[in-house]
Amino acid sequence: MTDMLKDARNCYEKSLVISNEELLEMMVLDGCFIAELIHKFANGSLWSDPIFNVDQIIGAIFKDLTLVENQLPFSVLWKLFGKIKEDPSRCIFAILKMFEGNMPGLRASEGNSYNENSMKDVKHLVDLLRTNWLPSENFMREYEEVTEDGEWSFIRSATELREAGIKFKKVKVEGGSLFDIKFANGKLYIPVVTIDDDAERLLRNIIACEQFDYSGSPQYLTEYRKVMDCLINTGKDVELLCRKRIIDNWLGTDEAVAELFNTLGKVMLSRRNFFYAKLFNDVNSHYYKPWHKRMASLRHNYFNTPWALISFIAAAFLLLLTLLQTTFTIFPRS
């Protein structure tokens, strides 16, 4: 660790006021703690450990590990992975497996091979999670085949889209990703998302990590957040998405979920290379067609219950019989 002090210090702000001895102690203690945690998770002994098995301690540790301000340089962790009796690639796989329950679609493939060269651009643990939290491969392939001119505009809220006849369908995330949002045939397919006390912390830290990345790589969570921010303006929008089983609300009130997405980072989006540009254009194309609004209004106002539909059919049948009776009266059969 002493040989890594200079590089490690350069990873922090220049205002970092800490002696080399203190920095060295932090690198060793924190780094070994994280390495031990990952090692025990990888070999299945985590839950039998008398320390890690303390009630709610793992949840508290996970919270600390995902705070951007708590990060160790990843090079320090990688060096320690090479000192324990564990394949470093298996350690990376274990990290991703640890967090995939809270990050639907996190790429955790045991067959992947990780080495020092492939890990050299990873800044810290949160950055590792960010760079592996991606849309599904099939979904990304579909969007890569579509060429957009970069022009797009924001979509309306969920309740407004419903008034234009757009339907909302939930998508199970198993085998896919949280970012796999799709629009087809007047239906908006959105993966199920659980919003609880930990969601805001995780989302804010991943988004912050994306905002400080200047490599030009896609900012999937930032752009996903913008989609949800457009769909959710008030508690009524949340109520609609909860009713469609798209949002699993653990915060208690619909207004709390609406406030979360509306205040989750005020960030600028690129007019070009926006991942959901085609989605927004397709939704807007459907929304601004008057015919769709008229049909939706007809369904909502007159066919919003099965009894209304039955009444309409009965009235139509009665009208048909009356028309037939009138016809035969005027033109009797010879």
Greater confidence (148 vs 164) lies with 164
DSSP string, 74-101: HHHHHHHHTTSSS-HHHHHHHHHHHHTT
Locate the domains of the chain by residue range: 2-132, 137-291, 303-334
Give this prediction's pTM.
0.83
Q: Are 276 and 154 in contact (CB under 8 A)?
A: no
How does 23-50 read in b/e, with b if 16+ C-beta sit within 10 Å? bbeebeebbeebbbbbbbbbeeebeeee
3-state secondary structure of 331: coil
Q: CB of 131 within 8 A of CB of 218?
A: no
What's the pLDDT score for residue 198?
Answer: 84
Pairing of strands 167-171, 247-249: unpaired
Q: Is residue 293's pLDDT more than 70?
A: no
pLDDT tens-digit readout, 294-318: 555 555 555 556 656 576 677 777 8
Q: Which residue has the higher pLDDT, 189 or 144?
A: 189
Q: What is the overall mean pLDDT for the chain?
A: 85
| Cα–Cα distance, 9 to 322 (Å, whole number) | 89
Note the pLDDT of residue 279.
93
Angle between helices 20-42 and 88-99 (to 10 degrees): 80
- Give the confidence band of 104 by pLDDT, cuts at 50, 70, 90: confident
| 208-267 per-position pLDDT tens digit | 998 888 777 788 999 999 999 999 999 999 999 999 999 999 998 999 999 999 988 676
Quick check: 3 pLDDT over 90?
Answer: yes
Report the SS3 class of residue 189: strand
108 or 270: which leads in pLDDT: 108
Q: Count H helices and E strands in the chain, helices first.
A: 15, 5
Q: Quick one: tokens of 102? A: 């809270």
